[in-house]
Structure 1
Amino acid sequence: MTTLTDPRERSRPPRKPSRRSPRGERPLDAPSLPVRGLKGVVLTVLCAIVVVPFVGIVATSVADPHEVTQAGGFVLWPTSLDLSTYRTLFAGGVVTQALVVSGLVTLGGTFVSLTLSTMLAYALSRSGTVGNRAMLLLVLLTLLFTPGLIPTYLTVKQFGLLDSLWALILPTAVSGFNVIVLRSFFMNIPRELIDSARIDGAGEFGIFWRVVLPLSRAVLAVIGLFYAVGYWNNFFNALLYINDTAKWPLQLVLRTFVVNEAQLGSSQLGASAEALPPQESIQMAILVISIVPILLVYPFLQRHFSKGMLTGAVKG
């Protein structure tokens, strides 16, 4: 007698044997307890290497000045909190002025860079754009060849940008890498959306503003974060092009007073000589002030790194 079997049963792959120990306690390929313990120790040590210096920087900046002096300039766990160093820095001296300059350069530069990069990337993503291939080749060449220091300085000087905040923005306004990333994203937008908008009477600018940009919020947030971090951390352009100390960004002040170990005077900090905190406390406080803004912004944009950029854009 022939036994009829369900075709679905024949198409199912054979079940893999269970790889569990005879007692069924854990899989045979799972690491043993000593190996897991060793991994935990290694991860703990690596985390401590990263976290402990940062904790020491924050602790030294908020420690009592006498305790900092007695500890030799580095306190890991302060016995009492003292915010006099931050009050001195924010009393209207060079640090406050540099913080304002860095904020203006970061906000303005990010806006300019996103605007120029987005418009250029969208133009390069449209196959019918005049000079598309030639412009794309120029953008790709910037990834391979960078201008020299002297030609760049002469160009900035020729345009009269020395001692101007525009010298901190325009030379690095457009990144070829970011343009290529934006172009690749724009080319992956479904053609049906653009065609339907064109049928409804929208022009190229209307398509760009009403269709492309709303779908590109995730990638724009990521590219904007890249630009913002670059402008916030950049000090080399200010070192080259800015001679007026009133226009120094925070990172150049940090380099001057931490790397070069220059002594901050009471007139520069806006405080009396008697109330001046230890030099180490001032250096650590400036370092904290330069790190905190990016740490506050990053959590709001971090979700866009793994978010599906076109989720829900096309249905059906």
Structure 2
Amino acid sequence: MKRSLGEQTFDIGNSILMILISLMTLYPLLYVLFSSLSDPQYVVQNRGLLLYPQGLNFDAYRMVFRNPNILTGFGNTLFYVTVGTGINILLTALGAYALSRKNVMLTNPVMFLIVFTMFFEGGLIPLYLLMRNLDLLDTRLAVILPSAVSAFNLIIMRTAFQSVPESLEESARIDGAGDWTILFRIVLPLSMPVVAVMILFYGVSHWNSWFFATIFLQTRDYFPLQVILREILISNDTNAMSVGVGTSDQMAIGETIKYATIIIATVPILFLYPFLQKYFVKGVMIGAIKE
């Protein structure tokens, strides 16, 4: 079909606009990357655009990986992401399956209570008292359990489960299958795009989580990477990593250490997106619209 001049002009303008927006979104990350690889003195003395590393230098990364707190925090974050996401998916799937069945009583009142928690909550003090009464303070479970189920994600997964044909469940029950078999061998395999999106949502949330750790944890061996990153960026605590550097150079190398720490904390989660991207749009649409 022949396109008019106006349509072609619109497509060109739209493409240019999207490219500019993409560059504006990508440049801050590239700036942090280039700064972490640049000469520390150049980063301190020069401000403005940075289009490539100035004086390629890997000292900041060597000093970051030399810090035992970074390695410990990285391991803790991997634990919180893997174990926490597993608990999130299991509990969300169980709740969504129960609430998506038509033969379950009081599903509408329960859904009302779940939606109610999206607008109103008890607050931080009752949550802290709950963790204390459960004897979970200063444990890894104190970081994982408060966000075990997201009401928003539960609603998305429930809507996705409702789109599974009832005939499949009926035929499975005729063959003697119970609810556990139907959930794990029929409903979940047919809802893998939504499950992939839930893994992405929960995984990113755990990776970026730091607030509960600062409230409930006291032992530094349990601190996730984001808490260590917060100390470095906000408290400007880079002296431990710049040992052996002259006093005049500590401020300069401290700046590149901050940038290197941001890259180390950001890059791993970015590698997760390409593997789940093909499920993202489909999963959200399935969970948002009931067919």
Q: Which bracket does the TM-score occupy, shorter chain normalised?
A: 0.7 to 0.9
- Kindly indicate whether the alpha-carbon contact (under 8 Å) linking 1:168 and 1:238 is maintained by their aligned counterparts in 2: yes
Query: C-alpha separation between the residues in 1 aligned to 2:48 and 2:128?
Result: 39
- 2:251 is equivalent to residue 274 of structure 1: no
1:177 equivalent in structure 2: 152
In the TM superposition, what are the counterparts of 1:48-197 in structure 2 within 5 Å?
48-71=23-46, 76-197=51-172
Query: C-alpha separation between the residues in 1 aligned to 2:190 and 2:16?
Result: 44
2:278 equivalent in structure 1: 303
CA drift at 1:280: 0.8
Deviation string 1:13-60 (CA, Å, 9 cap, x unpaired) is xxxxx9x8xxxxx6254365xx77765664454333222221110011
Query: C-alpha separation between the residues in 2 aligned to 1:40 and 1:136?
Result: 43
2:289 equivalent in structure 1: none
- Kindly indicate whether the alpha-carbon contact (under 8 Å) linking 1:68 and 1:74 is maintained by their aligned counterparts in 2: no
Show structure 2 runs of 5+ residues with no match. 287-291
Aligned residues: 281
1:313 equivalent in structure 2: none
Question: Secondary structure of the residue that 2:7 maps to in structure 1?
Answer: coil
- Kindly indicate whether the alpha-carbon contact (under 8 Å) linking 2:65 and 2:71 is maintained by their aligned counterparts in 1: yes
Query: C-alpha separation between the residues in 2 aligned to 1:242 and 1:73?
Result: 39
1:27 equivalent in structure 2: 4
- Kindly indicate whether the alpha-carbon contact (under 8 Å) linking 2:143 and 2:212 is maintained by their aligned counterparts in 1: yes
Q: Which has the higher helix share?
A: 2
Query: C-alpha separation between the residues in 2 aligned to 1:247 and 1:262?
Result: 21
Query: C-alpha separation between the residues in 2 aligned to 1:283 and 1:129?
Result: 53
More off after superposition, 205-214 vs 37-46: 37-46
Q: Which has the larger radius of gyration?
A: 1
CA drift at 1:88: 1.7
Name the aligned partner's letter for residue 246 of structure 1.
Answer: D
Deviation string 1:252-296 (CA, Å, 9 cap, x unpaired) is 2222221x2423232xx4x63338771111111111112111210
More off after superposition, 195-204 vs 141-150: 141-150
2:199 equivalent in structure 1: 224
Show structure 1 runs of 5+ residues with no match. 1-17, 21-25, 311-316
More off after superposition, 284-293 vs 79-88: 79-88
More off after superposition, 238-247 vs 275-284: 275-284
Query: C-alpha separation between the residues in 2 aligned to 1:132 and 1:112?
Result: 22
CA RMSD of aligned residues (A): 2.6
CA drift at 1:147: 2.2
CA drift at 1:71: 3.0
TM-score normalised to structure 1 length: 0.80
